[in-house]
Structure 1
């Protein structure tokens, strides 16, 4: 627990693109055991009572991804999160942004700086970090190096060995790194004033600023997700029957979740009325008419919401957002779609692909296609490559052909854990029938 009069906060660096891992999505938002890596990391940090506040630093275009992660957290953990701040061009710039945001909210005594892609951090490591930060002002976790390390003269595939350091003196450094808040903030400001922005490690930055940095015992389980194999291993670990988010699983506990693919479809239609724009796929498109609707009338998002709800057999958009309820009058349809995505993920599901076809004589969506794809990818926290949108006319046939309205149909492909396939009520009825 925190000492009287002291406070501990964490800065979680989640602004990186992390695209080396593949898949078109930053690694911190990829899902392991049914939840985003960042969700796992925040749950581990926020679940520790010694940490009072968490400042997450994200990329400028990652607000929707972050909100999806926040929605997956328990209220107790989510309450510890300060509003996210936008990161900078380098990791160092991002950490500094987090520190300045913490200072504005009330500077803590000790700050932990942690990588978003290290979800296996546990309470014991956090306790060692806080203690070392209080005692020494600058401390980093490290683990002994198992392999012999060679210093080479160049970075080519074949390099001449310059030196072989003594292995017993080497440590592989991890996070969370712990500092007296004022010390680290001053070091970051000094480096920025000198025009230095390339420090990839806060311990190294503190060393540069003239501070003694100590190394305390790290944890081999506190691995960082960097390569595709790391993501697979983390997925197996968190999907294990004893998974707790602490990283304490043994090999015999690890089991890969078996997923079943489900396909849902949706359809929506709205008549035209007076107006100067329509909403399609979360994008406001200028038009010579608007649509008649209780909400904003976004047929694309409405159809897609129903497709996702259909894939998990959880009613339709009217079930969750009845038009008789005045609170949804004029509501932005991205709220409906985000809710459906949250329901999918609450069941441990994964959204694989979203496909929409808009049926309309007007407006034309060609010029807005990529903006719509990007907006849907943002709302649903999926890669851009997982979103498709097409448009067609009805060859002047029907109400669409007469330009009396527009429609959209959508299909959503999701994967659900096999044990989440059966509806609990149906499963109980089937068991009763068999017993009877």
Structure 2
């Protein structure tokens, strides 16, 4: 047995990435970046277990992609690492960042070959430029650009992380706690994705797939003599409202299900449970905005949507254009990519009897193409 666990940190918000897309969800072919890195490391055969620290809003979606061990990360890198260490039962642990995406097999092997020589094995790069610190030129030979992955004795790392203070890497915490570290030469290709420009420095990353992802949503709501009627985010003049936990906008509810279906993210009931008082009487436009933002952060782009409203009443001809404009604004796509259709059921069924409204929606997505930024 290798007696070694890999921890991959992927709980960051990508605030410095400035795209609205979390870098861990950039697609490499059809894989999100975090999965691409994890499976690449898994294929080396060096690890008994691979643990991925993910944010609370990402973790359930990540579990749909693979069966690695997932733990919820914290507010900082250090907190995420503490949480992940609770799942480590090997003597040694290798810690890296998902953003360090193009680590070579040779690099991993060189780090692992130094196992046991120190409490922490630390790869670094030399500095070739002149370094000025606080107005003083310092000896660049004494400066090291520290990289990950770093290999640590698990017990030494656990002990080090109990102490006060924030540490930006494992070796700094271990040394501050009285432990030892050994530096080994790193590699330039182990560049970390921090900003958009960094993507162009990594030769191992291939463009995202150009697949089109389709989803369908369906919802119905019965009429209620109380309340107001909203369809597609637009108030409809009617003596009826809808029986619903939220505002009952059946068109937006079906559209949300279509969008979530295309992304493989479940359904509206999973994201906004109808037994949660937080969504009682909620404005469905605001729910749709949450979904659109989440799709974006997970690396999806909306192509177009098509919505069919089946109702004997009210008549929607006068509202179609306003619904189209309202939805296109929320979805962030041109109005001509939002199609609204209204039909009847020829007096058949509960819709035909004028008891409620049914809606079918279709949505098409694609992956965000990071190669075109």
Gaps of 5+ in 2: 224-243, 271-278, 316-343, 345-350
1:135 aligned to 2:117?
Answer: yes
- Of stretches 118-127 and 391-400 in structure 1, the one that deviates more from structure 2 is 391-400
In the other structure, the counterpart of 2:72 is: 86
Give the Cα separation in 1 of the matches to 2:98 and 2:79. Answer: 16
Distance 1:388 1:91, change over 3 A: farther
Aligned residue among 99, 109, 112 for 2:91? 109
Give the Cα separation in 1 of the matches to 2:352 and 2:177. Answer: 68
For residues 57-112 of structure 1, what are the alpha-carbon distances to aligned partners after superposition, in whole Å with 9 as ceiling and x for unaligned?
Answer: 111111244235x34xxxxxx4xx22x1112221111111111232xxxx211101
Displacement of 1:142 in angstroms is: 0.8
Distance 1:260 1:136, change over 3 A: closer
Displacement of 1:412 in angstroms is: 1.6
Contact 1:141 1:173 in 2 (8 A): yes
Give the Cα separation in 1 of the matches to 2:215 and 2:42. Answer: 38
Q: Within 5 Å, give how 1:11-410 maps onto structure 2.
A: 11-67=7-63, 70-71=65-66, 78=67, 81-82=68-69, 84-102=70-88, 107-152=89-134, 161-162=135-136, 164-189=137-162, 191=163, 194=164, 196=165, 198-234=166-202, 237-239=204-206, 266=216, 268=218, 270=220, 286=245, 299-300=254-255, 303-304=258-259, 334=267, 367-375=283-291, 378=294, 382=298, 396-397=314-315, 398=344, 399=351, 402-410=354-362
Displacement of 1:410 in angstroms is: 3.0
Give the Cα separation in 1 of the matches to 2:57 and 2:367. Answer: 26
1:9 aligned to 2:9?
Answer: no
1:133 match: secondary structure: coil
Displacement of 1:167 in angstroms is: 2.1
RMSD (Å) for aligned C-alpha atoms? 4.4
For residues 315-357 of structure 1, what are the alpha-carbon distances to aligned partners after superposition, in whole Å with 9 as ceiling and x for unaligned?
Answer: xxxxxxxxxxxxxxxxx9539x9xxxxxxxxxxxxxxxxxxxx
Displacement of 1:122 in angstroms is: 2.0
Structure 2 length-normalised TM:
0.67
Structure 1 length-normalised TM:
0.59
Contact 1:144 1:168 in 2 (8 A): yes
Gaps of 5+ in 1: 72-77, 153-160, 240-255, 274-284, 292-297, 310-331, 338-362, 418-436
Displacement of 1:391 in angstroms is: 11
Contact 2:302 2:365 in 1 (8 A): no
For residues 135-158 of structure 1, what are the alpha-carbon distances to aligned partners after superposition, in whole Å with 9 as ceiling and x for unaligned?
Answer: 212111111222222112xxxxxx
Contact 1:19 1:25 in 2 (8 A): no
The aligned length equals 306
Distance 1:288 1:381, change over 3 A: closer
Distance 1:260 1:232, change over 3 A: same
Give the Cα separation in 2 of the matches to 1:286 and 1:8. Answer: 50
For residues 151-188 of structure 1, what are the alpha-carbon distances to aligned partners after superposition, in whole Å with 9 as ceiling and x for unaligned?
Answer: 12xxxxxxxx12x2322232211111011111111111
The structure whose residues are more often helix, as a share, is 1
